[in-house]
Structure formats: C-alpha cells, structure tokens
Amino acid sequence: MKRNPLTPYLFLVPGCMILGAFIFYPMLQAIWLSFTDYNMVTEEQFVGLENYGTLFQDDLFWKVLVQTLIYLVGVVPALVILPIFLAILVNQKLKGIGFFRSVFYIPVVTSWVVAGIAWEWVYANNGILNYLLDIFGIINAPIHWLTSTNTALFAVMAVTVWKGLGYYMVIYLAGLQSIPSELYEAADIDGANLWQKISKVTIPLLMPSIMIVSVMSSIAAMKVFEEIYIMTGGGPLNSSKTLVLYIYEEAFQKLNMGYASAAGVVLFIITLIFAVINIRIMGKKESSIQG
C-alpha cells in the first residue's frame, strides 16, 4: 500500500496555481504598486509613501471614504434586521409559501444591470415612486432621486438593500429551521406573545446567522460598485461616489495604477477591520447570551 508522497500535492496543483496567479501574486503586486507611480505608459518608479500622502490630502478621497462609511452604516443594519422578519414570514406553513420564497429571491439572481435599469425607471421624475408618494400625500413635488446631491447616495443604498434582502432571508431561514419547535411550544404554554417569542427565542438562537450576515453584508458594503456605476456613475457632483468607484476611475480611466493601488490597500485594511470588529462584537454577544 505504498503511496507516492507527491500525490496530495498533485491534486492541489491546478487549484493552487489559479489562486496563486490570480490572488496571491496580484495581492503582493498590489501592495508593491501602491509604492510606485505606475501608469501603464512609463516604466514604474518606486515613490515610497507618496501615493498614500497624496491620497490623504485628496479631498475627493475623504469624501468617497465618508460616503462609503455612510453606505456601510446605512445598509448593514437594514440587511441584518429586515431579512429576519422576512424569514419569519416565509417560515410559516401557508399555501404557496414556496412560491413567495422564490419570488423574494428573484432580485438576487438578476444581474445588476437589469436591476439598476429597473430602479432608474422607478426613480424617474415622472416615475412610479414619486407618483406613489404623491398620492399618499407624502410629497407635493417630485424628488429627483438619482440626480440630486441630497438623495442619490441614499436612493442607491435602498436598491442595495432591496437586492440583498432575499439572499440574507434564505440564510436566516436555514437558521430558523434549525431551532427546535419545542422551544416555541414551551413559550406558548408560558403564554408568550409573538414579540416575546421573537425577542426571547428566535433572535438569541439566530445569533450565529446574524453574525454571518453582518460580516458578509459589511464586506459587501465596502465593495459596492455595480449599482453606483450603473445608476448614478457616482454623481451628481461625486455625491454618490464610493471607494471602489474612485479606485476604478483612477486606475482604468486616468491610468493612475500606483495611486489607485494605494486606495485599494486602504480599502483592504478597512474591510479587514470591519470583519474583525463584527466577529468580536457578535462573538461577545453570543457568549453572553449563552452564559
């Protein structure tokens, strides 16, 4: 039964070659580039921390950074909380519930381009959203959702939430289905109302899922690109521009590859910080509930 000691490595070769070539090598390359003035035209020069210095003095960089954090702070709580209620809603034994689960998932599988176009049309000045708000008497003049500096960022945030709801709902649904029904029966016998059942049974037992969703949605929020590129292009007046769109423009429109790489490294560091914070906080909460 002698085995070739190289066998395990041979199985790993194709996958690791791809990951090496398209993740580890580019990762090191990105860090290196962030210390150079590479622009695809002239030979790159090592410039030390100059890119980072320029970055931190660029008002637009700070603006997009703040807007990225606004995105995060707005979108993450919505995507952590709202899908819980959706999951509870579709976790009931009702006729046709499978149909509703699928329908709520449709935005998830639709490409960002179609979703973006659909929402541009909803947000149009003469569009359906302004009409609905008008007939309910909430507004008396149409709001220029995507073309006003006051609303563009928030209008796109709402679409991000809308598109993510179904995905996180399904994650919670799996969590809900692992909660033993005896716990609810016991709560019923104790005379608990719906809200007590949710806050005392569902939420605590859903903590692992809540942690996963908050980590996933904050990483996703830091990387937001498609919806902004498609619906507003970062405008008006950069009011909806976020970090990844800024990196994209610096790199592929202005060819400031070195400078854009420095912004990418900043993005990476912030993403890591948020992931770690999330895991820490949620880990604590979970243990305090169990303890």
Partner 1 sequence: MGTPSLETKRVTNVPQQTMTHRVKKLIKTVLNYMLLFIVTVIMVGPFLWLLSTALKSGHENIFQYPPSFIPESPTLANFPAALEAFPFWKYLFNSIVVAVFTVGLNLLFCSLAAYPLARMSFRGKNLIFLLILSTMMIPFQLLMIPIYIFALDLGLKNTYAGLILPHATTAFGIFLMRQAFITLPYELDESARMDGASSFQIWWRILMPLVKPSLVTLAIFTFVMSWGDFLWPLIILDDSDMYTLPLGLNALTGLFSSNWRLIAAGSVISMIPIIIVFAILQRYFIEGATKGAVKG
What residues from 103 to 162 belong to the interface with partner 1 (CB under 8 A)?
103-115, 117-119, 121-122, 124, 126-128, 131, 135, 162
**197-226 positions binding partner 1, by CB under 8 A:** 209, 212-213, 216, 219, 222-223, 225-226
Interacting residues of 282 by C-beta distance below 8 A, sequence separation 6+: 207, 210, 211, 214, 215
176 binds partner 1 (CB under 8 A): no
Our finding on whether 271 is near partner 1 (CB under 8 A) is yes
* Contact flag: residue 261 with partner 1 (CB under 8 A): yes
d(CA 235, CA 170): 33
Phi/psi of residue 36, each to 5°? -125, 175
Closest approach, Cβ 73 to partner 1, in A, equals: 19
Number of chain positions touching partner 1 (CB under 8 A) = 92
Using CB atoms within 10 A of its CB, is residue 44 exposed (0-12), middle (13-18) or buried (19+)? middle
* Least separation in angstroms between CB 126 and partner 1: 5
- What does the per-residue mask of binding to partner 1 show for 226-245, with x meaning CB under 8 A? x--xx-------------x-
Note whether 11 binds partner 1 by CB under 8 A: yes
Asked if 167 is part of the footprint of partner 1 (rule: CB under 8 A), the reply reads: yes
Of 52, 154, 184, 248, the residue at the interface with partner 1 (CB under 8 A) is 248
**Contact predicate 152/240, CB 8 Å:** yes
DSSP bridge pairs for 46? 36
- For 255: left if phi > 0, alpha if psi spans -120 to 50, otherwise beta; the answer is left
- Pick the closer one to partner 1 by CB: 195 or 291: 195
Determine the interface stretch with partner 1 among 45-53, 56-64, 70-78, 102-110 (rule: CB under 8 A).
102-110
56 binds partner 1 (CB under 8 A): no
Nearest distance from residue 150's CB to partner 1, in Å? 22
Q: Select the residue interacting with partner 1 from 92, 140, 181, 253 (CB under 8 A).
A: 92
Could you tell me the two tokens for 259? 């400078």
Nearer to partner 1, 77 or 98 (CB): 98
Q: Rounded to an integer, what distance in angstroms lies between the CA atom of residue 34 and that of residue 230?
A: 27
227 versus 291: smaller Cβ distance to partner 1: 227
Cβ partners under 8 Å of residue 55, min gap 6:
61, 259, 262, 263, 266
Site membership for partner 1, residue 46 (CB under 8 A): no
**Of residues 27 and 203, the one with the C-beta less far from partner 1:** 27
Q: Does 174 bind partner 1 (CB under 8 A)?
A: yes
Q: Which CB sits closer to partner 1, 153 or 168?
A: 168
CA distance linking residue 213 with residue 168, whole number of Å: 7
The residues, ordered by sequence, that sit 6+ positions from 221 with a Cβ below 8 Å of its Cβ are: 68, 71, 72, 75, 76, 160
Choose among 220, 193, 217, 232: nearest CA to 282: 217
Cα 41 versus chain centre, distance: 34
